[in-house]
Amino acid sequence: LSEPVQKTFSFPPVPEDNVSQDIDHILETQSALGIDLGGTNLRVGIITMAGKIMRKYTQPNPKTYEERMELILSMCKQAMADAIPLNCRILGVGVSTGGRVNPQNGVVLDSTKLINEWSHIDLRSPVSQSLHLPVWVDNDGNCAALAERKFGHGKGVENFVTIITGTGIGGGIIQHGELIHGSTFCAAELGHIMVSLDGPECSCGSRGCVEAYASGLALQREAKRLHDEDLLVVEGMSLNNKEQVNASHLVQAARLGNSKAEGVLRTVNPSLVVLSGVLSQHYKSPVTDFISQRALSSAREVKVMTSELDSPALLGAASMVLDYTTRR
Ligand code: ADP
Ligand code: MG
Ligand code: ZN
């Protein structure tokens, strides 16, 4: 008979001196995990109370529910492990997603075809059960507005609107300091305001929505159209055969003096305050011009600003956690 192996664990590890342990504890930063689910990308971030993104992870957003959930959970687990040496104490998880969301129960009610298999999805339960943390969920445009309110140009502003461009176009409306969700949670679907009765098909199934003209996907469509006619590439631009033509090429062509590309970008005219996302820099001047020429005179004082935030939807997702868990 062999003796059972005697192992001695010292857990928790005995600190060298208690002072350093106390300091470590004090240095812990209250933080949140943010998740941002878009038409193209899935992002996870460790975000502190002050709105600093300590670490960010980006993957293409998978096309099926199963793969998407699996990737969300594995990216979050990685982030939670990485949060420990960063001294970030994760208080909860905030999720920003494309689609119509009921924030009261964390369910995605439905989505456009930009995100497949993403209707009637209870996001809160699996994420919360798997990570053992409280979970908040809201639409990505709404999250972008929350981010501007907490960390950006919306600080202390009672009423403002934000428009975020990515694959699609999201909106968020803050009135009297609070998000407006509307009776069926689609109050701020500003990307689906119809600006033409027979315009291009939109991801939502309708036609002529702002999103069908001005989103990353719409501009990719226009860039491809110009490229097929050999009208996209101008001097100073390089585009090799293997590269997928996308919105960034259209923007680049316009900057380099391609008037066709510039024309496509000028047709876009939402009226708003904070512009964010991949195309925000480019929309600032057409939006400002349009407001000064065409808006009701009473609305001409509207200020147009571009967001200074890195990843507003992700930061807004985190802000839901930070606002609730640190409220006194
Ligand atoms: P989503 O949140 O919808 O996943 P992102 O905000 O990650 O989208 O942006 C991805 C979209 O933006 C894609 O449609 C891509 O073609 C477009 N895009 C990426 N970089 C640029 C850029 N520099 N200029 C214009 N469009 C861009
Ligand atoms: Mg997005
Ligand atoms: Zn639409």
* pLDDT tens digits, 193-226: 888 888 999 999 999 999 999 999 999 999 999 9
> What's the pLDDT tens digit per position in 33-75?
999 999 999 999 999 999 999 999 999 999 999 999 999 999 9
On the question of pLDDT at 21 being above 80, the answer is no
Contact 160, 174 (CB under 8 A): yes
* Mean pLDDT of all residues in 255-283: 77
- Average pLDDT for residues 279-286, to the nearest whole number? 90
In the chain, the amino acid numbered 296 is L
For the CA of 220, the closest atom of ligand 1 is: 16
* Alpha-carbon span 110 to 251, nearest angstrom: 31
Residues in CB range of 263: below 8 A, 6 or more apart: none
Can you spell out the DSSP letters for 194-220?
BS-TT--B-TTS-BSBHHHHHSHHHHH
The response to whether residue 220 sits with its C-beta less than 6 Å from ligand 1 reads yes
Residue with tokens 């694959």: 167
Q: Does residue 199 contact residue 212 with C-beta atoms inside 8 Å?
A: yes
Pair type for strands 135-139 and 88-97: parallel
Taking the centre of ligand 3 as the mean of its atom positions, its distance from the CA of residue 209, in whole angstroms, is 5
Determine the number of helices (DSSP H) and then strands (DSSP E) in the chain.
10, 13
User: How do beta strands 107-110 and 100-102 pair?
Assistant: antiparallel
Residue 48 to residue 62: CA distance in whole angstroms? 27
User: Residue 118's Cα: distance from chain center in Å?
Assistant: 16
Q: In terms of Cα–Cα distance, which of 97, 109, 168, 171 is closest to 135?
A: 97
What share of the chain has pLDDT > 70, as a percent? Answer: 89
Q: Helix or strand or coil: residue 217?
A: helix
Q: If you average pLDDT over residues 156-165, what whole number do you get?
A: 90
pLDDT score at 271: 38
Residue whose Cα lies nearest atom 17 of ligand 1: it is: 216
Atom of ligand 1 nearest to the CA of 168: 3
Q: Please name which ligand lies nearest the alpha carbon of 111.
A: 3
Residue 293's SS3 state is helix
Point out which residues pair with 108 in neighbouring strands: 101, 121
Instruction: Identify the residue whose tokens are 């899935």.
Output: 42
Give the distance (Å) from ligand 3 centre to CA of residue 192.
4
Its sign, for the CA torsion 309, 315, 320, 321, is negative
Q: What is the residue-averaged pLDDT of the chain?
A: 89
> Which residues does residue 163 pair with via DSSP β-bridges, in sequence order?
171, 275
Least confident of 23-32, 94-103, 146-155, 209-218: 23-32
